[in-house]
Structure 1
Amino acid sequence: MPPKRKSDVLLEEVDAAKQNDVAEAEGRAEGVLSAKQPRIADSTDAPSASSSKVKKGKARSKDVDDANRPKCWKDVVLEGIDEDDLPIYDDCNDIRRKIRALLQEPDFKVTNWLREIGNINNNSYQRFMKASGPTGGAENGTYYAAYVYFEKKRIFEGKKKTAKRIRMENETPEGQPLRDARRTWVYVPR
């Protein structure tokens, strides 16, 4: 038998790996678990000897809450108000601070994030990040889209409102205006 070529050996290894994956998938479909996966007891199964405790009271309501909980921040529905008219309670500096914190996360890509939050143009994002002040960049689309993202993410993660956020809700119940105060014209009679 002639010696095998390196490419033939590699193809055989790939085929063997595929066959193992298929066999493992078929085993899972039939209810056979591999050694790597722990067995998860279903609620319909009778309690085993190792899990003799039965769930009571609050644990049941937690299971129901987990079933209704959204699987992604995009699935969160903001209550009471149409998303297009959502009042904003964080100023531009807060949003820029939160974006800068996102930039520090590993594997975070700005272009993917801008696409997820509403297909925001990178030039718009750059102008917003270069602006300064609590109302600097309030007219920019990045401000509103990022606010909606951070609000949905806060709700998804179950975090509480900050003290500043609660104070802003009390001071301006209709939310922050979407205009830069430095660009407002004021007419003074002579």
Structure 2
Amino acid sequence: MTRTVIASVLAASTLAVVGAAHAAPATYAIDPTHTFVTFEAKHFGTSTNRGRFDKKSGTVTLDKVAKTGSVDLTLDMASINTGTANFDGHLKGKDFFNAEAFPQATFKSSRFIFNGDKVSAVVGDLTLLGKTHTVTLSANNFGCYDNPMLKREVCGGDFETTIQREKFGMTYGLPFIPNDVKLVIQVEAVKQ
């Protein structure tokens, strides 16, 4: 081998190692001011009741090169907010979320699904009322940008799924109050 070939191989190897070093996963903290977890459920099959959880926290890890990631999200169940205090009280009670006995709900991902360079879905375990089931959150509008005010990268998007509340032990009002509950998670997370 000539010295030129050896030098070229060493240079290429060095670039590959440097490139791999830049492919390390990045950690992002969920921004509670730009993250909302909302739910939608039909009221006796007619109008749609909506609410949200005002207190949430968590982290996202994303490796764009390896196309992997993880999410760890926690919701404070006592922070439910429908805009109507009496309804909030009923939802916090034993008929629905039982916030006193189960003060938190969590979502912990097991894998990210990519379509090209974009996250298209996140699969993970949702724990609610002490019961855990796997759900798939479909992604809409996922992207990352350099936030000019924070001077950091921010990634986010809208994620949604529909769950059957009876699987989590929430059977009050069935079948008159429908079983399907749509979850919508609007999330933005700031690179740490």
| Interval of TM-score (by shorter of Structure 1 and Structure 2) | under 0.3
Q: Could you say which structure has the higher strand fraction? A: 2
Q: Could you say which structure has the higher helix fraction? A: 1
Provide the TM-score with structure 2 as the length reference: 0.23
Provide the TM-score with structure 1 as the length reference: 0.23
Answer with 1 or 2: which has the greater Rg. 1
